[in-house]
Amino acid sequence: MAATSGSREAFGTRAGFILAAAGSAVGLGNMWRFSYQASEGGGAAFVLLYVCMTLLLGIPLMLAEFGLGRRGQLAPIGSLRRLGGPAWARLGYVFVAAGLMILAYYSVIAGWTIRYAIEAVLHGFSASAGEHFGAVASGGDAVAFHIGFMVLTILIVVGGVKGGIERASLILMPMLFLIVIGLAVWATTLDGAGEGYAVYLKPDLNELKNPTVWRAAAAQAFFSLSLGMGAMLTFASYLRRDQNLPESATVVAFTDFGVAFVAGLIVFPVIYSLSLQGAVGASTVGALFIALPSAFEAMGGAGRVVGLLFFVTLAVGALTSAISLLEVVTASMMDEIGLSRRKAAIATGAVITALGILPALSTETLGLMDKIAGELLLVAGALATAILAGWRVRSEVEAELIAGASPFWARQVPRILGVLRFAAPPIVATVLFFSVRETIAAFASYFAG
Ligand code: PHE
């Protein structure tokens, strides 16, 4: 453990921290996963459930990570060791493993978004979007774009907390918000937009009886809010005690939900205005990389511009999320082994780049990695985090969260921690049970097929 509080890097501004945390949260999950899951899970019924999960699990768990990180002043392994004792350091290793694995396949998807953006400039979208996606999603090109995206991510993380992560977030996040809102306004002008909104916003309440939809909503909340693998914990370890943590967690969670919701207001009208709904359910990536590009293609010149903006936004969101994933692993190497930031970022980035070649060569492998790391490990990590912060070191976490909070938010801390202690563990444990079952089934079909 080389770093001490005195020499530790820190965010320069309060807004910088909030934008970096929001940058971690807002990403491919908001567009790639959210729209797909909403279309599968009964539209607004899923959206409603998702809001409940964000309030009930998301905000309390984010607050737990913020409290643990700022208290511990180290990356996850060190912070958990410092607060919970050596046994809890193991959870930190699980976080690092999850970060490695998620970034490995996340970067492949991010590579696709960059490719589509470049194609929009060079020659527009392909008329046979399904075949095109099949041809470029895996193989040499996918590997090349994955490597390119990883290099970008590494460069920013090498720049440090203030000069790299905070600066990138301050520039990229406002740009992302503006484009997303602009595209949603444009989508209102489409013929058939009404039908898209109706499907999106009319709840199919029957779906609420389906436990799979509940599990999906909870798992989506963890993934989308970057919870369960120490990303928020790591960012909070770069804070001093003047940040209002409960307020920050609430702002970040609502920003993340807001972007996911508005993204749905883009995706659904575009798809329904061209009657492409059939292409959505085909695969988890169907909506984003097949249905939308064919819609953009059918719209001619305007579609090319809008499509370019759309994929640039996705790439930007992916980049600010990837930074946080790499930072968890990098900061752990810095704190545990005493490597310099540059060496740690390049070494861990290289390992992740190599690991990412597997999902870049097979979309089935990508899907399996998403199930294992993007779902199972996050749910398990969230459960352990709730137990640690809610029970094992509760009083320390509570004191940490109240420090720096305004009187209003300080009064909310015991309430939110009450939810973390009593509501979160049984719900997350139930979700974990179903996730384990799903992951076993996914394994079986992966090796059977
Ligand atoms: N929250 C990110 C997204 O929605 C993904 C992510 C998961 C980032 C876990 C960091 C940690 O795209």
In 3D, which of 47, 89, 45, 41 has the Cα closest to residue 68?
89
In 3D, which of 233, 249, 235, 227 has the Cα closest to residue 80?
233
Please give the distance, rounded to the nearest whole angstrom, from the Cα atom of residue 195 to the centre of ligand 1.
30
- Would you say the CB of residue 76 lies under 6 angstroms from ligand 1? no
Please give the distance, rounded to the nearest whole angstrom, from the Cα atom of residue 226 to the centre of ligand 1.
4
Q: How confident is the model at residue 31 (pLDDT cuts 50, 70, 90)?
A: confident
Give φ, ψ of 435 to 5 degrees. Answer: -65, -40
Write the CATH number of the domain with boundaries 14-448: 1.20.1740
Q: Can you tell me the mean pLDDT for 246-274?
A: 93
State the pLDDT at residue 143. Answer: 98
Q: How confident is the model at residue 7 (pLDDT cuts 50, 70, 90)?
A: confident
Instruction: Name 208's Cβ contacts closer than 8 Å, sequence gap at least 6.
Output: 42, 45, 49
State the pLDDT at residue 148. Answer: 98
**Span of 56-70, 146-160, 210-224 with lowest mean pLDDT:** 210-224
Give pLDDT tens digits for 36-84. Answer: 788 777 788 889 999 999 999 999 999 999 999 999 999 999 999 999 9
Q: For residues 341 and 160, is the Cβ–Cβ distance under 8 A?
A: yes
Q: Where are the domains of the chain?
A: 14-448
**Span of 15-19, 125-129, 165-169 with lowest mean pLDDT:** 125-129
% of residues, the chain, pLDDT over 70: 96
Token digits of residue 19: 């934008």
- Would you say the CB of residue 223 lies under 6 angstroms from ligand 1? yes
- Would you say the CB of residue 29 lies under 6 angstroms from ligand 1? yes
Residue of the CA atom closest to atom 6 of ligand 1:
226
Residue 241, judged by CB atoms within 10 A of its CB (0-12, 13-18, 19+), counts as exposed
Please give the distance, rounded to the nearest whole angstrom, from the Cα atom of residue 302 to the centre of ligand 1.
31
Instruction: Name 424's Cβ contacts closer than 8 Å, sequence gap at least 6.
Output: 56, 57, 60, 61, 382, 386, 390
Q: Please report the atom of ligand 1 found closest to the CA of residue 378.
A: 9
State the pLDDT at residue 285. Answer: 66
Whether the pLDDT of residue 130 is over 90: the answer is no
Residue of the CA atom closest to atom 9 of ligand 1:
226
How many whole angstroms separate alpha carbon 303 and alpha carbon 293?
A: 9
Q: Can you tell me the mean pLDDT for 275-298?
A: 73
Give φ, ψ of 285 to 5 degrees. Answer: -95, 0
State the pLDDT at residue 1. Answer: 41
Q: Is the dihedral of CA 166, 167, 170, 176 positive or negative?
A: negative
Give pLDDT tens digits for 349-372. Answer: 999 999 999 999 999 999 999 999
How many whole angstroms separate alpha carbon 247 and alpha carbon 402?
A: 11
Give pLDDT tens digits for 90-104. Answer: 999 999 999 999 999
Q: For residues 360 and 143, is the Cβ–Cβ distance under 8 A?
A: yes
Whether the pLDDT of residue 8 is over 70: the answer is yes
How many whole angstroms separate alpha carbon 8 and alpha carbon 75?
A: 11
Q: Can you tell me the mean pLDDT for 286-308?
A: 87
- Would you say the CB of residue 226 lies under 6 angstroms from ligand 1? yes
State the pLDDT at residue 206. Answer: 87
Q: How confident is the model at residue 348 (pLDDT cuts 50, 70, 90)?
A: very high
Q: Indicate the residue type of 127.
A: A
- Would you say the CB of residue 259 lies under 6 angstroms from ligand 1? no
> By three-state DSSP, how is residue 325 classified?
helix
DSSP for 12-36 reads SSHHHHHHHHHHHHSSHIIIIIHHH
**Element containing residue 394 per DSSP (H, E):** helix 394-402
- Would you say the CB of residue 220 lies under 6 angstroms from ligand 1? no
Q: How many CB atoms lie within 10 A of CB 8?
A: 17
Mean per-residue pLDDT over the chain, rounded: 93
Please give the distance, rounded to the nearest whole angstrom, from the Cα atom of residue 192 to the centre of ligand 1.
32
% of residues, the chain, pLDDT over 90: 79
297-318 exposure pattern, b = at least 16 Cβ within 10 A, e = fewer: bebeeebbebbbbbbbbbbbbb
* pTM of the predicted model as reported, rounded to 2 decimal places: 0.96
User: Residue 99: left (phi > 0), alpha (psi -120 to 50), or beta?
Assistant: alpha
Give pLDDT tens digits for 321-346. Answer: 999 999 999 999 999 999 999 999 99
Q: Can you tell me the mean pLDDT for 297-317?
A: 93
Q: How many residues belong to the chain?
A: 449
Q: For residues 165 and 157, is the Cβ–Cβ distance under 8 A?
A: yes
In 3D, which of 303, 292, 382, 245 has the Cα closest to residue 112?
292
Question: What is each CA distance from 188 to 38, 112, 179, 196, 311, in whole angstroms?
Answer: 19, 27, 15, 10, 19
In 3D, which of 444, 352, 409 has the Cα closest to residue 106?
352
3-state helix, strand and coil shares in percent for the chain, rounded to the nearest 5: 85, 0, 15
Residue of the CA atom closest to atom 7 of ligand 1:
226
